[in-house]
Chain A
Amino acid sequence: MAEQEEQPIAGRSLTGQAVALARLLHHECTSLLRLYTERETFLSSYTPDGKRLVSASPESEEPSTEEQVHLLHSALRQCLGLLHRVIQKEEEEWGKLEDEYESMRKNVRARLEHLLYSTKGLVETDGTNLEVTPDNQCNEETDGSGGVFGFKLWTYRVLLELIHWSDHAAKTLHVLHTEREGAEEA
């Protein structure tokens, strides 16, 4: 908690900028979910099961902070893939509505892509090559088996996943920021 209160200043360092970006993404994902539930009001009383749509398993039991950021980067790519699928299918089903929800959805996608570039810049080394393209693992059976109504439920889960992983990104990147900034100051 005390760590979260320590606010990195944007522009001060790459890690600081990444933390700020993740926090902004988290805020926007929350807003996107709010707008979506305003449109689909039945979702306000819906509690999906606790299954994660996106998972990132560490190779070691106690991964380092850099390894955690690697995993985070992988999870964010999956999130971007899910979001792309949501956008694509929503446009198929509803067309372009050009409302506040669509505007926020567009912001979240751009912000998530930006965060992927940030995390890549933070942990990519000469020996590793991180992708920033969407990792689209979903298919017709995962998102369209339940019809339009099932897709709404699935979208809701995707948005929850975005909130979870953006929050996780803010925390993980803050740890990295603290480690790196502390080492530099020392």
Chain B
Amino acid sequence: SVNPDLASERQTASFSVEKLTAQLDGGEEQTRIRRAVVEAIECDPVFSRENQYFQSQNERYEAAVRKGVHLQKKMHEMGWTENGPEFKYIYRALSGDVAFLLHSIFIRSISVLGSDRQITKWIPLAAQYRLIGSYAQTELGHGTYLQGLETTAVFDTTTQEFILNTPKISAMKWWPGDMGRSATHTVVFAQLYVHGKCYGVHPFIVQIRSLQDHSLCPGITAGDIGPKMNFEHVDNGYLMLQNVRIPRENMLNKFCEVQPDGTYVRQGSQKINYFTMTTVRISLISDEVIIPLMKACTIAIRYSVVRRQSKLKPGEQEAKILDYQTQQEKLLPQLAAAYAFHFINDYLQELFNRGYKEIQRKNFDTLPELHAFSSGFKAMVTQYCTSAVEICLRACGGHGYSLLSGLPSLYTKILASCIYEGENTVLLLQTARFLIKCFTAASAGQPVPPSVTYLAVVKPGKCPAKNKLDFLSPDIYTEAYQHAAVRLISSTAAKLQGLIQSGVKKHDAWNQCTVQLAQAAKAHCHFITVKNFAETVERLETNAGIQKIMKHLCDLFALHGIFSNAGVFLHDGYISGAQMDMVTALYLDLLAVIRKDAVPLVDAFDFTDKSLNSALGSYDGQVYQRLYEWAQKSPTNKQISPAYERYLKPLLHNTLSKL
């Protein structure tokens, strides 16, 4: 039965939860398909995550391999294909807890970088799992800066082979997933040398393990890189190459080729390839970043209406902790952010789909803008959501610290997203470079991409709000964000310009402005997110109460941002001190309004108990019972520990000296 404290929250929902779920999924049909996939996966015991929190790294890895293998069978049975409508829900249903994710990157990189001949040769083998692939780019000493990679591939014209080497320890490949134990092949990125000349970094297909007995190939040293904060199920690996020879045909040569005599030839445009890299950053946002935040909000908010602590009124029952303003102030802005980012993700997907069509027509004009979008939003959303999940974790007090709450693993997983696919600070600076360029162009009256036309309309002005309720107008707060973004970008551009004019070298000047540049890029992304949220709300259907509650969340998201970055808005007096007091008061009022719908708002995310895998967050709210039952399953309670006989007993019997 459902805990009455949770049941009562659901009775007072101001909107239809089912309709909101359909809205989030993009239609009722999508909801139906998603639920069917989740159902099929969750009723299959091989995919169970029940014991996940008790498993060792070895056990997690083995389970992931088992699931990866079983998934092939399952897809066949269910008739799911990679191009079917079900495919995108499989990963969500598995909560990512499966091996061979790098195998698909291996396939994709051959499809994108390989010639037709290479595709014909390798893709069928990979598709049938005749070989297992990985993707080896990052090295022990090199991550972000691709040109700095040290692995070498020297062409030997006499044998028509490349000789691959790891010249020093920092050149070892380090981190690639599926490579530590599983992979038989990998795409290795190495500096190409022909006749003593370096041609830069290129991709090579290298076999690393025997297809017969899985032993390492000659010249290969490979293994697992050891325990991490999460991803215990993935065998992130290291790889050292000593005079490993591969045939000339193993260099992926759609764009560059080394001919038999050693002549190096460039062909075609790499721009489309560049676009593919860019889309990866956007494609991870939904599954790896927004869904974990939605799960964390679900767990923390349900738990906060079940948990009672202290009294709000003398003589009454202890209060639900969600009734405390401080608890609302921790959780509800994170909930609003989950919705804000869900909508910005829709926006980005659409933008990239449109961009893709343009690029297929060989129109590359939108590339710089798309690149700036993917970098900036990847950085902003991952950083925001990571701290949001951590806030949810800490808002659950002691029990949040138990792995059984599900929150620690959500947190340790999401935080990796701040680093992979581009370190966030580096990405923000790429967006900043685009913004500065556009600002300069706009100031000179030149045309700029649509997302940054606002930079051209720099007007000083003041916020026109007269009273508190004026701040419920999206125009008012969107303008404020726009003003802040323009101010930060223009002042940084001016500073950069000033430094350069005073004789500072360009790169030094850039480095001296990077703190401000990163801040400006974030302000730009924040502005676009608020604007998009407000515009999305406009378009929502007005029935079933959905538009109304989304408007509240949009207001909360926007005002929370102003409240938490007050200095940015007060600086230059765009928002006055008195107006800031209005923002604060209104923001706190909104918390109490959204509080009433908090549980229905997380119910609408529609996570099953199995996918939450949390003793605190289940739908029925039987928190304590579940915590107690799950604890019994802990190996520390089931297995007999030698600690008692070996150490405790002599200790208790006061025979310490014998130890």
The answer on A and B forming one complex is no
Name A residues whose Cβ lies closer than 8 Å to a Cβ of B.
none
List residues of chain B with CB under 8 Å of any chain A CB. Answer: none
